[in-house]
Structure 1
Amino acid sequence: MAIFARVVDEGSFRAAAKSIGLAPSRISETVTELENFLGATLLYRTTRKITLTNEGRVFYARVVDMIRSAETGLNELNALSLEPVGALRVSVPAFMSSSELLTTMGEFARQHPHVALSLSFTDHPVDLIDDGFDLNIRVGWLEDSSMMSRKLGEIDRCLVSGADYAASRPEPKHPGDLENWDWISYAQRSDTIEFIAQNGRIAKVAGNAQVQVDNVDALHHLTQQNLGVTVLPQYLAERGLRSGNFVRLLPDWQLRPLGIYAVWPDQSRRENLTVHFVRFLAENHQN
Structure 2
Amino acid sequence: MINYLRHMAVFARVVDEGSFRGAAKTLNLAPSRISHTVADLEQYLGVTLLYRTTRKLTLTNEGSNFYKHAIEILKNAEAGLNELNALSEQPIGSLRISLPAFLTTSPISSAIADFSKLYPKVSLSLIFTDHIVDILNESLDLSIRVGWLKDSSMLARKLFESRRILVASKAYVSSRDIPYKPSDIVSWDWISFDIRSNSVEFESEHGEKVTISYHSNLSVNSADALVHFAKKGLGLTYIPEQLVDEAIQSGELVHVLPTWKIKSLGYYAVWPNKSRRENLTLLLVRYLAERLANT
TM-score relative to the length of structure 2: 0.73
Structure 1 residues 207 and 110: alpha-carbon distance in aligned structure 2, compared to 1, 3 A threshold? same
Taking the aligned partners of 2:238 and 2:287, their CA distance within structure 1 comes to 30
Q: 2:82·2:280 contact (CA, 8 Å) conserved in 1?
A: no
Deviates more, 1:201-210 or 1:21-30: 21-30
Q: From the CA coordinates, give the structure whose radius of gyration is larger.
A: 1
- Partners of 2:106 and 2:122 lie apart in 1 by 21
Aligned to 1:240, the other structure's residue is in SS state helix
TM-superposed deviation, 1:207: 1.9
Q: Secondary structure at the match of 1:180?
A: coil
Q: What are the superposed Cα offsets for residues 5-58 of structure 1, whole Å, 9 maximum, x if unpaired?
A: xxxxxxxx9799639x9987677237689xxxxxxxxxxxxxxxxxxxxxxxxx
Q: Distance in 2 between matches of 1:118 and 1:136?
A: 12
Q: Which residue of 2 aligns with 1:36?
A: none
Distance 1:269 1:186, change over 3 A: closer
Contact residue 201 and residue 210 of structure 2 kept, 8 A: yes
Cα distance in 1 between the residues matched to 2:128 and 2:69:
40
Report the AA paired with residue 104 of structure 1: A
Aligned: 1:148 with 2:155: yes
Counterparts of 1:204 and 1:275, CA distance in 2: 38
Q: Which residue of 2 aligns with 1:181?
A: 188
Matched residue, 2:171: 164
Structure-1 residue corresponding to 2:125: 118
Partner of 2:65: 28
Aligned to 2:142: 135
1:123-150 CA-partner distances (Å, limit 9, x unpaired):
1111111112111111001011001111
- Aligned-partner Cα distance in 1 for 2:99–2:185: 32
Is the 8 Å Cα contact of residues 94 and 121 (structure 1) preserved in structure 2? yes
Amino acid in structure 2 at the alignment position of 1:278: V
Per the alignment, do residues 76 and 87 of structure 1 end up closer, same or farther by CA in structure 2, a change over 3 Å counting? Answer: closer
Question: Within 5 A, what are the aligned runs for 1:191-206?
Answer: 191-206=198-213
- Contact 1:161 / 1:226 at 8 angstroms: preserved in 2? yes
Q: What is the DSSP-based 3-state SS (H/G/I as helix, E as strand, rest coil) of the residue aligned with 2:246?
A: helix
Q: Counterpart of 2:244 in 1: which secondary structure?
A: helix
Aligned equivalents of 2:105, 2:279: Cα separation in 1: 27
Which ranges in structure 2 are unaligned for 5 or more consecutive residues?
A: 1-10, 18-26, 28-37, 39-48, 50-58, 71-75
Q: What is the aligned partner in structure 2 of residue 211 from structure 1?
A: 218
* Aligned-residue identity in percent: 42
1:17–1:27 CA contact under 8 A, matched in 2: no
Q: 1:32 to 1:181 in 2, by over 3 A?
A: closer
| Paired residues of 1:158 and 1:234 also in contact (CA < 8 A) | yes
Indicate yes or no: 2:101 matched with 1:80. no
Gaps of 5+ in 1: 1-12, 34-66
Measure the CA separation in 2 of the matches of 1:103 and 1:169.
Answer: 40
> Offset at 1:206?
1.1
Q: Partners of 2:127 and 2:179 in 1: how far apart?
A: 39
Q: Give 3-state SS (helix, strand or coil) of 2:160's partner.
A: strand
CA contact (8 A) 2:85 2:92 kept: no
The AA in structure 2 aligned to 1:28 is N
* Offset of residue 268 of structure 1: 4.2
Q: Secondary structure at the match of 2:172?
A: helix
* TM-score, structure 1 as length reference: 0.75
**Equivalent residue for 1:18?**
16
Do residues 258 (structure 1) and 265 (structure 2) align? yes
Counterpart of 2:109? 102
Amino acid at match of 1:132: S
The root-mean-square deviation of aligned C-alpha atoms, in Å, is 2.9
Cα distance change on mapping 1:202 and 1:77 into 2, 3 Å: same
